[in-house]
Amino acid sequence: MTRKIFVIRHGETLFNSEQKLQGHCNSPLTNKGESQALAVGTTLKEYLSDRSYHVYCSSLGRAVQTAQIICDAIGYDQSALTQDDRLKEFSLGEWEQQTIPSLIEENPALLERRDWYIQAPGCEAYESVKGRLLSWISELPEEQDIVVISHGLTGIVLRGILLDLSYQEVWAQDLPQDAFFLIQNGGITRIDCMTVEAVA
C-alpha cells in the first residue's frame, strides 16, 4: 500500500480576517475558519476509510483547534493527536501582528516577491524551517498514511520537500484554507472542500 500524505492548512483566524501576520503569535479561528475545518474533515473522511493513518499538527493554537475539529469529523481520538513544534509556522520576526496594508505602505514594492513574508527583520530562515520539517519527516512511520495540519508558509515548504520542488516553485504554490493536498507517489492532488454557510 502506497502511503498517502494529506497536507492541511488551519482554518481562517481572527488575524487572517484582519490581514494581520501571525507567525509564532496566535489568534483563534473565526466562525468561517471553524466551518472550513469541518468541511476539510468531512471531505477528508472519505479518503481515510479502511486505511491506517496518524494525525499530526503544529503546536500553535490555531492548528490545534483546526486539528481537533478535523479529528471529530473523521472519528479520530483527539488524545491520539500528535502536536509537534517542528510543524509550527515561520517566525516572522518584527512583522508579527503587523497588518499587510501597513507593511505595503512602508514598502510599496513588497508584494512583487512571492517570498515577501520572509523579508521580515528577525524572520526565521527558510533553511531553518526546511530543516525542522526534514527532521519531522525522517521520523514518520512508513506503513501509515499521514494527516498533517500546519500553516500557510510551513505547508508550502513541506509540500516542496515532498515533491522535490525548487525554491521558486515552492513560493508559486497557493495557501488555501478551504482545500487540502494529497501527496502520493511523487504527485499532488488539490481537493477542494465545500463549506456550508450557516443559515440565519
How do residues 93-110 score in pLDDT, each as one tens digit?
999 999 999 999 999 999
Known catalytic residues are 10, 89
Residue 199 counted as domain residue:
no
- Rounded CA gap, 46 and 154, in Å? 25
Residue 90 counted as domain residue:
yes
> What pLDDT shows up at residue 2?
81
Residue 197 counted as domain residue:
no
Q: What is the side-by-side order of every strand in the sheet holding 145-150?
A: 82-84, 53-58, 145-150, 5-9, 179-184, 187-192
> What pLDDT shows up at residue 195?
72
Angle among Cα 31, 176, 111 to the nearest 5 degrees reads 110
- Count structural domains, the chain: 1
Residue 198 counted as domain residue:
no
Residue 24 counted as domain residue:
yes
Q: What pTM does this model have? A: 0.95
Residue 71 counted as domain residue:
yes
Residue 166 counted as domain residue:
yes
Residue 125 counted as domain residue:
yes
How do residues 151-163 score in pLDDT, each as one tens digit?
999 999 999 999 9
> What pLDDT shows up at residue 142?
87
Q: Which residue numbers in the chain have pLDDT < 50?
A: 198-200
Q: How many CB atoms lie within 10 A of CB 75?
A: 10
CATH number of the domain that 139 lies in?
3.40.50.1240
What range does the domain containing 100 cover? 5-192
